[in-house]
Amino acid sequence: MPHHRKLLKCLISPLVTALSGSVSLAVALADDDEIVAVVAAINPDVQEINVNFDNWVFPGAQNAAAGRQRLLTQVDLRLAEVKRVCHLSQEQEDKLRLAARGDVGRFLGEVEKLRRKFVTTKRDREAINEMWQEVHPLQARQARGITGADSLFARILSKTLTPAQAAEYDTATAERRRFRYRAAIAVALHTLEGSVALKHEQRETLAKLLLELPPPRIFGQYDQQFVNYRLASLPAAKLKPLFDDRQWQALQQPLNQGRAMRSQLLQQGYLDPEEVEAKASEARQ
């Protein structure tokens, strides 16, 4: 068995033995290194508990197995992108694949640790409500991508790429972020027109002003809210002259909603904490 498959199996196996006795999981590694989970001998109460927990941890996925597969697909796509841009050697690719699967294994370890806690507190409503505070970061990490800036994959990537490869990757990443930011702006402005009818010139000017601001640190389900926040952060002296009185009045509600998203966007990783603190410091002066 290749070394990276042995390591992944070592990461996953303890999760199996540590689970409640009412749940029996058989975990195996398929030829393509995907994790296959088979749940057997589950009584109805435990099954219901796991369904509820899985819906929390893997929003939008049918079950935990689908959630795990989504993670594997996510990291495979990230690796494929790096491989395409940087023309990786086989040794580099193997190192990065091992790191990415390690990130998956560690994430699933955190999920199963929390699952056991969920089972023991299933009838304690207050404890369940408190546990949401622990589930939410797992959702946020999936939305950001578990091979993000604080991952093993990111650390190994920085040590594995040659200077020339790193420069290529940085350029490609910046271009991709710019493209996605421009698309998010277009969608957000189109949605805004449900509240404020915009002329072509107004829409073009707003898009230009927004593109002058930094794009989000990550992309995901809050892209449009990020654009609204950026729009609300534009100085009124620069924004108000673009609109007539009726438009400006209609724009206040969307702008207020955009400002209210700051904490959520910061928590989700869209905003740079240092940038937010700098702006808050400027406002206090």
Number of CB atoms found within 10 A of residue 187's CB: 12
Whether pLDDT at 247 is above 80: yes
Rounded to whole angstroms, the Cα distance separating 205 from 141 reads: 34
Of the candidate ranges 17-31, 56-70, 243-257, 269-283, the one whose mean pLDDT is the lowest: 17-31
Rounded to whole angstroms, the Cα distance separating 46 from 12 reads: 21
Indicate the pTM of the whole model: 0.64
Of the candidate ranges 5-19, 114-128, 269-283, the one whose mean pLDDT is the lowest: 5-19
Is residue 157 a contact partner of residue 95, using CB atoms and an 8 Å limit? no
Whether pLDDT at 125 is above 90: no
Q: Is 118 left (phi over 0), alpha (psi -120 to 50) or beta?
A: alpha
Number of CB atoms found within 10 A of residue 78's CB: 21
Q: Which of 207, 146, 151 is nearest to 182 (CA)?
A: 207
Average pLDDT of 216-239? Answer: 91
The predicted-structure confidence for 12-34, as pLDDT tens digits, reads as follows: 444 444 333 333 333 333 333 33
Model pLDDT, residue 122: 62
Model pLDDT, residue 181: 94
Whether pLDDT at 3 is above 80: no
Average pLDDT of 82-111? Answer: 94
Average pLDDT of 37-50? Answer: 42
Model pLDDT, residue 39: 34
DSSP annotation string for 152-171: HHHHHHHHHS-HHHHHHHHH
Q: What are phi and psi of 182, to 5 degrees?
A: -60, -40
Q: Which of 63, 78, 69 is nearest to 32 (CA)?
A: 69
Q: What is the CA radius of gyration of the chain?
A: 23
Model pLDDT, residue 4: 46
Whether pLDDT at 179 is above 60: yes
Model pLDDT, residue 161: 96
Residue 27 bridge partners (DSSP): 37
Model pLDDT, residue 19: 38
Whether pLDDT at 73 is above 70: yes
Is residue 148 a contact partner of residue 218, using CB atoms and an 8 Å limit? yes
Rounded to whole angstroms, the Cα distance separating 83 from 181 reads: 23
Average pLDDT of 102-127? Answer: 83
**Which of 39-48, 112-121, 158-167 is most confident?**
158-167
Q: Which of 182, 169, 156 is nearest to 97 (CA)?
A: 156
Mean pLDDT estimate for the chain:
80
Q: What are phi and psi of 245, to 5 degrees?
A: -60, -40
